[in-house]
Amino acid sequence: RKEVEQDPGPFNVPEGATVAFNCTYSNSASQSFFWYRQDCRKEPKLLMSVYSSGNEDGRFTAQLNRASQYISLLIRDSKLSDSATYLCADEGSASKIIFGSGTRLSIRP
């Protein structure tokens, strides 16, 4: 089993919709989790970090479920500019980050 798993998508949703992705992790000792956004052929950039039960930043909400070992990302009122690949990451052990393979999101007008 991969340490961090994501549904690759693509998710194709209309502008204004709410969309959610899940990411499962295998290391029960992990403390820190992240969501990164990656535009085509660009470097990943941090979108949100996820601690304790979760946090919210504008239209974006990240949640952590330790019992089931997954994190989620919810995007409300999606914009065309939200189209990207979303990578989840688990800090895991030894302070090195393990990334999922990414979920592709495409927002259509």
Partner 1 sequence: DADVTQTPRNRITKTGKRIMLECSQTKGHDRMYWYRQDPGLGLRLIYYSFDVKDINKGEISDGYSVSRQAQAKFSLSLESAIPNQTALYFCATSEGTDPTYNEQFFGPGTRLTVL
Rounded to whole angstroms, how far apart are CA atoms 25 and 76?
24
Among 40, 43, 68, 109, binds partner 1 (CB under 8 A): 43
* # of chain residues touching partner 1 (CB under 8 A): 26
The distance from CA 1 to its chain's CA centroid, rounded to whole angstroms, is 19
7 contributes a contact to partner 1 by CB under 8 A: no
Q: List the one residue from 42, 66, 79, 108 that touches partner 1 (CB under 8 A).
A: 42
44 touches partner 1 by CB under 8 A: yes
Residue 34, interface with partner 1 (CB under 8 A)?
yes
Quote the tokens at residue 69.
Answer: 């070992």
Instruction: Give how far Cα 39 sits from Cα of 17, 30, 70, 93, 108, Å.
Output: 20, 27, 24, 28, 16
Please tell me whether residue 98 binds partner 1 under the rule CB under 8 A: yes
Degrees to nearest 5, angle at CA 90 with 78 and 71: 45
Residues of the shown chain interacting with partner 1 in the complex, contacts defined by CB under 8 A: 6, 8, 31-32, 34, 36, 41-46, 49, 51, 87, 89, 91, 94-102
